[in-house]
Amino acid sequence: MILIGESINVMAKTIGPALKERNPRPIQELAKAEVETGVDYLDVNIGPARKAGDELMEWVVKTVQEVTDKPLSLDTTNLVAMEAGLKEHKGKALINSISPTRAEEGLSLVTKYNASMIGLLWGKEGMPRDAAERAVLAVDLIYKANQMGIPNEDIWIDPIATPVSVEINQVKACVEFMSMLQDIAPGCKSTVGLSNISNGTPANLRPWLNRTYMIMLMKYGLYSAIVDAFDSDLIKIARGEKPELVDLVHRIMDGEKPDPSSLTEEEVKYVKTVRVLTGESLYSHSWLEI
């Protein structure tokens, strides 16, 4: 799987001020630390960047690429800033993200800079309600992109992962959509912001949700994910180093009910977490203890 490190984000405690002050040090340190974990891309999220966004994006792309050759996933709603970042970027950039509504301007940047794109399935009325609405949005966006000459291999569809503590049906719909994607659009790639799933959950418990959800999406061919690069177990799973665990989670999804006494403590935690993420058990902060 292709992994995109999530940490260079205007919302993060050290990164927000560093971006504002144009202080390269904390950003470059974090970029190097993320790259050391083995991720393939670094997400660089400067937010809406309404004020001097172009100058900021140009600066941060240059700053990060001074310390790594990894390609960047550039995230801002400010398209002027996006273009400034693409101009500065060395190699093939990933535009994060383009939605079906008012897609044209973003798509023309994909073509102009020969970039790849994350297609975010966010509709006119906001969040799609189920897998079918996600499919409609995906078809619309992919059609528009193809019309502009963008091939499916450059389109990474993001069905939007949502917090487990908010709406379990959305968590399930995202997985269901993933199982449909190759039929809808053969050759399209996929991605998901994995940490979204555990938003609002105590920090020590977040990795269980993030890892388990990744394995569930892997069952349907998840191509890439935006991840917490510092979760070393998550990286190992994505790199194929825990095949028994992946197999266990997939068997639980298929309805198998293993005898808990035959499982390790770690395996029991994954089994409990799959049951929460499939909606079989109700989420609460104490789901691992019950």
Q: Which of 63, 65, 78, 96 binds ligand THG (CB under 6 A)?
A: 96
C-beta neighbour count of 161 within 10 angstroms: 25
Q: Which stretch binds ligand THG (CB under 6 A): 87-95, 155-163, 171-179, 276-284?
A: 155-163
Task: Pick the closest to residue 53 from 31, 77, 30 (CA basis).
Answer: 77
CB 265, min distance to ligand THG, A: 26
Site for ligand THG, residues 108 to 147, rule: CB under 6 A:
118, 120
Task: Pick the closest to residue 192 from 236, 230, 238, 248 (CA basis).
Answer: 238
CB 76, min distance to ligand THG, A: 11
Q: How far apart are CA 172 and CA 189, in angstroms?
A: 20
Mask 177-206, x = binds ligand THG (CB under 6 A)? ----------------x-xx----------
Q: Which stretch binds ligand THG (CB under 6 A): 7-15, 55-63, 109-117, 258-266?
A: 7-15
Instruction: Decide whether 1 or 271 has the Cβ nearer to ligand THG.
Output: 1
Instruction: Decide whether 200 or 260 has the Cβ nearer to ligand THG.
Output: 200
Strand duo 224-227 + 155-158: pairing: unpaired
CB 277, min distance to ligand THG, A: 16
Q: How far apart are CA 237 and CA 235, in angstroms?
A: 5
CB 16, min distance to ligand THG, A: 9
Strand duo 41-47 + 155-158: pairing: unpaired
278 near ligand THG, rule: CB under 6 A: no
CB 119, min distance to ligand THG, A: 9
- Report CA-CA distances (Å) from 12 to 19, 238, 271: 10, 24, 31
- Report CA-CA distances (Å) from 34 to 6, 44, 205: 9, 12, 21
Q: Which stretch binds ligand THG (CB under 6 A): 9-17, 87-95, 101-109, 135-143?
A: 9-17
Instruction: Decide whether 33 or 247 has the Cβ nearer to ligand THG.
Output: 33
CB 44, min distance to ligand THG, A: 10
- Report CA-CA distances (Å) from 241 to 194, 232, 238, 252: 19, 11, 7, 19
Q: Which stretch binds ligand THG (CB under 6 A): 28-36, 156-164, 207-215, 282-290?
A: 156-164
C-beta neighbour count of 205 within 10 angstroms: 16
45 near ligand THG, rule: CB under 6 A: yes
What string of DSSP letters covers 95-164?
EEEE-STT-HHHHHHHHHTT-EEEEE--BTTBS-SSHHHHHHHHHHHHHHHHHTT--GGGEEEE-----T
Residues in contact with ligand THG by CB under 6 A are: 6, 9, 12-13, 45, 75, 96-97, 118, 120, 158, 160-161, 193, 195-196, 226
